[in-house]
Amino acid sequence: MRRFTWLLLAAVSLMPVALRAQYFGQNKVQYSRFHFKVLETEHFDLYYYEIEHAAALDVARMAERSYLELSTVLRHQFRERKPIILYASLSDFQQTNTSPDEVSEGTGGFTDFLKHRIVIPLTGSYADVQHVLQHEMTHQFQYDVWSGGRAGAGVQTIIAVNPPLWFVEGMAEYMSLGGVDPNTAMWLRDAAQEGKVPTIHQLETDPRIFPYRFGQALLTYIGQRWGDEAIGAILSASRSGSLEGAFRRVIGLDFKQLGDQWRDAVVKEYLPELNTADKATAISDAVLTKERSQGTLHLAPALSPDGTQIAYFSEKDFYFVDLWLGNVVTGKAERRLFKSTFSSNYETFRFINSSASWSPDGKYLAFAGKNGAHDDIIVIDVASNKQVATVRSGLSGVTTPAWSPDGKTIAFTTDRGPGTDFNTLRFGNYRLALYHLDSGQIELLKGMDWGKNVDPQWSPD
């Protein structure tokens, strides 16, 4: 996206157009009223509401620590205070009116160019919040440089620089993760093996190539070869001309030369590793693919107890992400099990960090769906495609339901708790809960008051 709206950039956005707004231009639905307070630090105004107070203090410390690191490396200081808007959960974050666009399941946070506002949700993990915060703060630094230190200015500069996503997002990932992490290394290893390490031209023009990961790797290469200060110098030099011109002045290479040398370095680093590794096709068979199953997304697969069927989320040949049933042997989509558009109760299914769960007898599937400001656990009869039960817990952050072996209990993750008041949220707290089908009662597990407790699995007994 090279038009101006790309400046509202998601930190962790993996989804294509199929997952964008489902309201088609209507006003964004807001279910809650947020009474924001302001916590002032040396460089930031942090907006939060009361249940986030303890979290806001921690995030404020994170923000100043990130500012010190980034301002030192980039040799740039803010001349005005910058806003950070904090939401207590993904459900709250999706109601934000700081952006006219709908906030999708895959959005981890964003920074807007005109007001230099960071907008992020709490996720229950300090590591996640630190990564997203520093990623978005890198965008603040980029925008501050291009706007001459004044929010709302610099429109002509940004148009002249026309920075590609591989640079904007790659720099933000590098500055927040500190180099090539295992996830990006996986991408590079696969690209090296398949002979598909992209050129910079491909990163800018081919929509099939995700610029975050390869951009991160490219900025890591620059930082390791010329030093992190070179990245700050390129950013600063880009204000007086094109970004490619800034690269030439700082490191003496144009985009083609830089891309060729980076691609050679990737191949030299990762190909030797592959001499001792088996290709995936040698030890496994593809089940869900675009050719066999249609669609470009095949997410959160859940294998049936007898191993013959697989439930998964896909847009298939339509627009919305729905729950589908596939045949394990043929990979064919047998039918759509449940549509996110079937009922106005569900805006979306939780398909990024969640999956469906089969009952032990293979008759039922349980999965999470967003119902207003909260999440439900939906239970459907697989044979009839009928919804047979709904767990309206009043909770949010509901993910990864897991059916017990005796079929009497469903375990799941929620971001609400601790204590008996399900509507009291404490940051750093993703708890496990149990739904007892016989009594209809929800039980929060004890001893999990802090940390991110996710993805429950039952032992055989």
- Greater model confidence, 399 or 82: 82
Question: Mean of the pLDDT values across residues 103-125?
Answer: 88
pLDDT in tens, 295-339: 888 988 999 999 999 999 888 867 678 889 999 999 998 888 876
- Greater model confidence, 448 or 337: 337
Residue 110: its pLDDT value, please?
Answer: 94
Q: How confident is the model at residue 362 (pLDDT cuts 50, 70, 90)?
A: very high
Residue 430: its pLDDT value, please?
Answer: 77
- Pick the range with the lowest mean pLDDT from 99-108, 141-150, 166-175, 215-224: 99-108
Output the average pLDDT for the chain: 85
What is the SS3 string spanning the chain?
CCCHHHHCCCCCCCCCHHHCCCCCCCCCCCCCCCCCEEEECCCEEEEECHHHHHHHHHHHHHHHHHHHHHHHHHCCCCCCCEEEEEECCHHHHCCCCCCCCCCCCCCCCEECCCCCCEEEECCCCHHHHHHHHHHHHHHHHHHHHHCCCCCCCCHHHHHHHCCCHHHHHHHHHHHHHCCCCHHHHHHHHHHHHHCCCCCHHHHHHCCCCCHHHHHHHHHHHHHHHHCHHHHHHHHHHHHHCCHHHHHHHHHCCCHHHHHHHHHHHHHHHHHHHHCCCCCHHHHCCCCCCHHHHCCCCCEEEEECCCCCEEEEEECCCCCCCEEEEEECCCCCEEEEEECCCCCCCCCEECCCCCCCEECCCCCEEEEEEEECCEEEEEEEECCCCEEEEEEEEEECCCEEEEECCCCCEEEEEECCECCCCCCCECCCEEEEEEEECCCCEEEECCCCCCEECCCCCCCCC
Residue 348: its pLDDT value, please?
Answer: 64
Residue 393: its pLDDT value, please?
Answer: 67
pLDDT in tens, 223-278: 999 999 999 999 999 998 789 999 999 999 999 999 999 999 999 999 888 888 88
- Pick the range with the lowest mean pLDDT from 46-50, 295-299, 331-335, 388-392: 388-392
Q: Does position 450 have pLDDT exceeding 70, yes or no?
A: no
pTM of the predicted model, to two decimals? 0.84
Most confident of 32-36, 125-129, 395-399, 408-412: 408-412
- Greater model confidence, 383 or 12: 383
Q: Does position 21 have pLDDT exceeding 50, yes or no?
A: no
Residue 11: its pLDDT value, please?
Answer: 36
- Pick the range with the lowest mean pLDDT from 70-84, 170-184, 339-353, 444-458: 339-353
Q: How confident is the model at residue 16 (pLDDT cuts 50, 70, 90)?
A: very low
Most confident of 60-74, 124-138, 265-279: 60-74
- Pick the range with the lowest mean pLDDT from 45-49, 104-108, 237-241: 104-108
Q: Does position 19 have pLDDT exceeding 50, yes or no?
A: no
Residue 391: its pLDDT value, please?
Answer: 79
